[in-house]
Amino acid sequence: MEIIPAIDFKDGKVVNLKQGQPEQSTTYSDDPVGMAEHWVSKGCERLHLVDLDGAFDGQPRNAEAINTIAKNHPSLKIQLGGGIRSAQVIESYLDAGVDYLIIGTKAVQEPEFVGEMCKRFPGHIIVGLDGLHGMVAINGWKEVTDISVESLARLFEDDGIDGIVYTDIGKDGMMGGVNMHATKNLADSVNVPIIASGGVSNIKDIEALLEAGERLSGGITGVITGRALYEGTLDLEEAIALCRHFTPNK
């Protein structure tokens, strides 16, 4: 399982939003490019970037900084979400060195778009499913649909997606622990790798995800963490070492 530090962009800064609410924003840095350098220096091999402005506006807003990070770290795996709603945007970011594009709102509004993009850009498409009480939210989490996370995940299972980033909105940015029940249920219901997101608070959450991932269909292949790293309640180097040397309980 990979530990994936998150860099959320808003107004050119590195921020964290509690439960996706812009009015509950904490700024951690004015230098996203430097922050990426910091996490790489700590052993990060995969980075999760979110263009929050792009998510709210429906189109990229922080492309320059994102492209610079990709250029500076060609061996770093980068996954990007926020405003990914056209083939042109996907192609542009792939050309810049981003490895995976996360389709969220567009996947809900036009499910066929996911399959089309998987055919056009095989191995580079991830679906982002953001859930509140089990239901999918879109448009920067401003709108909650009547579609369940699990039913939508099954819809994309055969499209050739590289994975699903599942975020529990109620947990996101709250550092209250991962929603293990929902994450495990999702991972066990589809044969697609799941990247968990939302609620990581300390090393015990990483241990719990590692244990759970050993017993599930598609498996939990990664976990995204933001606030816990920035607040210092989770040490990135310790978490990476745990994943590398993890032995499941029998």
Q: How many residues does the chain have?
A: 250
Q: State the catalytic residue, choosing from 130, 159, 172, 205.
A: 130
Q: In DSSP terms, which residues pair with 51 in a beta bridge?
A: 9
Task: Give the 3-state secondary structure of residue 13.
Answer: strand
Structure tokens at 35: 């922050």
Helix (H) or strand (E) holding 25: strand 25-29
- 188 labelled catalytic: no
Output the CA angle 93-98-100, nearest 5 degrees.
100
Q: State the catalytic residue, choosing from 8, 51, 159, 168.
A: 8
Give the Cβ contact number of residue 105 at 10 Å.
24
Helix (H) or strand (E) holding 183: helix 180-189
Instruction: Kindly list the distances between the CA atom of residue 78 and the CA atoms of 4, 67, 96, 123, 201, in Å, as whole numbers in the listed order.
Output: 9, 10, 11, 13, 23
Give the Cβ contact number of residue 26 at 10 Å.
14
CB 167 within 8 A of CB 131: yes
- 8 labelled catalytic: yes
Structure tokens at 61: 């807003």
Output the CA angle 88-93-96, nearest 5 degrees.
130
Closest by Cα among 132, 236, 227 to 173: 227
Catalytic residues: 8, 130
